[in-house]
Amino acid sequence: MKKESKVLVILTGGTITMVCDRESGALLPADMETFKAFVPELFTSDIHIDMEAFTPLLDSSDVNPENWARMAHAVYDHYADYDGFVILHGTDTMSYSASALSFMLENLNKPVVFTGSQLPIGTLRSDAKENLLTAIEIAAAKDEDGNAIVPEVTLFFEDKLFRGNRTTKRNAEHFSAFNSYNYPALAKAGVHITYQPHLIRYNNLTLPLRLRVQTDQNVGVLKLFPGIQEAFVKQVLNAPGLRGLVLETFGAGNAPSSEWLYRLLHDAVERGIIIVNKTQCNTGSVEMGLYAVSMNLLKAGVISGYDITTEALLTKMMYLLGENPDNPETVKELLQKDLCGEVTIE
Ligand code: ASP
C-alpha cells in the first residue's frame, strides 16, 4: 500500500460510536476525542486519517433519506482530497444507507466502506476496532497504478467485505451481523485481505462523480401472508400519495390467486402506482410465470424485482422516483435494469 493514502472517516452514529456510562450503565454517544482515545492505532498507521462527525450522532433507526443525502454530500464534497471513505453507522439500517449511497454516488471511482459494530468501541470484547481498522485499510487500498482496489459502496463486517446494496442485517447477536445472499463477498479478511477483482465493479475512470440525492419517500412495503384480508390490502394500496410498492411474495414470486387481489393490484397499477415483486426468500430470484399463482401478478402489471434485496429495492425506488418525478415509464424501465450491481438480470 502506498504511504500517502488518505482516508476520511465519517461518524454518523450507532453502537460503534457509543461508550458505556459507568454510573448508569447506559450507552451514550462518544465525543470525537473520547472515540479517538479508544483507537490510538488510528494515528500511528501509514494511512493519513481525518475524521468528521454528524452532530448529533444518530441511532441508525433515526437515519432517513436526508441523512443519506448528507452522507453522500460528505463524500462528494471531499472527493478530490481523499483516496477513500469510511462511514461509521449503526448496524440496524446500515444496509439501507449503503444501498441508497450506491445510487446517489454515480460514477464512483473510490471506496466508500460502511462499517459498525455489535459492541461499543470501549468494551473489552468489542468488534469495533477490528471492523474500523480493516475498513480503513480497504478504503486506502490501491493497485500499482494508484487506482482504488474496491471503488464501490461496500459494507465490511467481521471478516467479509460485501457490495453494500446486496447486504441485509441477518443477526442481532453474532459478530457476523450481515450477509449478501445473492452475491459473493468482494473480499475476505484474515491474516491478509484477499480481494476478488472479478467480482468488483469498476466504473469508467474518466467519468466525473455525480451526486443524485433527490428522493421520493412515497413508497411502501406490503408483505403477503396466508389469510391476508382484502380490506387491509385495499387500505395499503390507497395510502395517500403512494407511488411505489415493494410486494413481498412467496417463493419464486407467488401470491394468492384470489380475484380480489388481482383486481386491487391491477387498479393500483392503472392509477400509476409502480409495484415490484420481491420474494420473501433471502436467496434466489423472482420468476413470474413459473407457477400459475404468479400469473395474476404478471397480468396486473406487477414488475419483477429479480434477486434484489428489499433494502436495495426500496432505496432504488425512492431514488428513481425522486430523480424522475414526471416519468413513471423511465422509473419502471430502470427498476428492471442493473444500475450499480444491485440485481442480477439474466
Ligand atoms: N441501534 C444501533 C443502531 O443501529 C445498533 C447498532 O449500531 O448495532 O444504531
Give all strands (DSSP E) within 144-270, no chain letters.
153-157, 160-163, 168-169, 178-179, 187-189, 193-195, 210-211, 219-223, 244-249
Q: Specify the CATH number for the domain of residue 94.
A: 3.40.50.1170
Residue 247 C-alpha cell reads as 410486494
Judge whether 322 lies within some domain.
Answer: yes
Mutate to test the pocket of ligand 1, among 27, 92, 155 (most ligand atoms within 8 A of CB): 92
Q: Is residue 342 part of a domain?
A: no
Note whether 35 and 178 are same-domain residues.
yes
For residues 198 and 71, membership in a common domain is answered with: yes
197 and 89 in a single domain? The answer is: yes
Q: How far is the CA of 223 from the centre of ligand 1 (A)?
A: 24
Is the domain of 80 the same as that of 20? yes
Confirm if 26 and 101 have CB atoms less than 8 A apart.
no
Q: Is residue 39 part of a domain?
A: yes
CA distance 181 to 307: 9
Span from the CA of 226 to the centroid of ligand 1 (angstroms): 32
Confidence of residue 3 (pLDDT cuts 50, 70, 90): very low
- The CATH number for 331's domain is 3.40.50.40
For the entire predicted model, the pTM comes to 0.96
The three-point CA angle 3-153-273 to 5° equals: 165
Say yes or no: 173 and 313 in one domain: no
**Residue 214 carries which DSSP code?**
-
Those residues with Cβ within 8 angstroms of residue 40's Cβ, 6 or more apart along the chain or in another chain: none
pLDDT digits (tens, 9 = 90+) for 248-299: 999 999 999 999 999 999 999 999 999 999 999 999 999 998 888 889 999 9
User: Does residue 15 have an active-site annotation?
Assistant: yes
Sign of the alpha-carbon torsion through 44, 50, 52, 57: negative
Check if the beta carbon of residue 304 is closer than 8 Å to that of residue 330: no
CB contact set of 37 (below 8 Å; sequence gap of 6+)? none
Instruction: Indicate if 121 and 62 belong to the same structural domain.
Output: yes
My answer on whether 54 and 156 are in the same domain is: yes
Q: Give distance in angstroms: CA of 60 to centre of ligand 1.
A: 6
Angstrom distances, CA of residue 320 to CA of 71, 215, 276, 340 = 18, 7, 13, 13
**116 within ligand 1 shell (Cβ under 6 A):** yes
CA distance 225 to 232: 12
Q: Which tens digits make up the pLDDT trace of 159-209?
A: 999 999 999 999 999 999 999 999 999 999 999 999 999 999 999 999 999
Query: For position 31, what pLDDT does the model report?
Result: 84
29 lines ligand 1 (CB under 6 A): no
Q: Whose CA is closest to atom 7 on ligand 1?
A: 90
CA–CA dist 39, 107 (Å, integer): 33
Domain closes at, from 170, 185, 211:
211
Q: Tell me, yes or no, whether 344 lies in a domain.
A: no
Q: How would DSSP label each residue in 144-177?
A: TTS-BS--SEEEEETTEEEEGGG-EE--SSSS--
Ligand 1 atom closest to 59 (CA):
9
Q: Same domain, yes or no, for 287 and 243? A: yes
Cα-based distances in Å from 113 to 51, 110, 156, 209: 14, 10, 7, 17
Domain span at 54: 5-211
Query: What is the count of structural domains for the chain?
Result: 2
